[in-house]
Amino acid sequence: MENELFQTLTSLLAYSCIAIGSAFIVIGGIGVLRMPEIYTRMHASSVTETAGSLFVLIGLMILSGLSLATVKLFAIALFLLFTSPVSTYALVNTALVAGQKPAVVKDQTSGASV
């Protein structure tokens, strides 16, 4: 009985993790489509890369339990944690160096850029 409850709870946790990850991915996708220029778009897409994929991977790790698959998923998660923020940084930095200007909204009242 207790074991059954434990299994239900872990699968609930796993599926909610996957759902949260998927939600992050959808939000990131919407952001990439809706944001005005590269810097904000990259901000949105980095949400997909880090939070989205990490939550999905954590969910899958909980689902697969203590097995070789978990070790592999952990390795993938570690790899993503290293590479995706770095690739985001590289893209944005290259854009900055190449002279892409961030879209700046002028504040009407004070005249200062916000």
Residues making contact with another protein (CB under 8 A):
79, 82-83, 86, 89-90, 93, 97
Please state the closest distance from residue 76 (CB atom) to another protein, in A: 12
- Which residue, 40 or 87, has its beta carbon nearer to another protein? 87
Q: List Cα–Cα distances, 55 to 4, 20, 45, 101, 112, in angstroms.
A: 24, 7, 15, 33, 40
CA distance 41 to 47: 10
- Which residue, 86 or 103, has its beta carbon nearer to another protein? 86
Please state the closest distance from residue 28 (CB atom) to another protein, in A: 17
Please state the closest distance from residue 114 (CB atom) to another protein, in A: 29
- For residue 79, give both structure tokens: 């790899």
59 in Cβ contact with 101 (< 8 Å):
no
- Which residue, 37 or 107, has its beta carbon nearer to another protein? 37
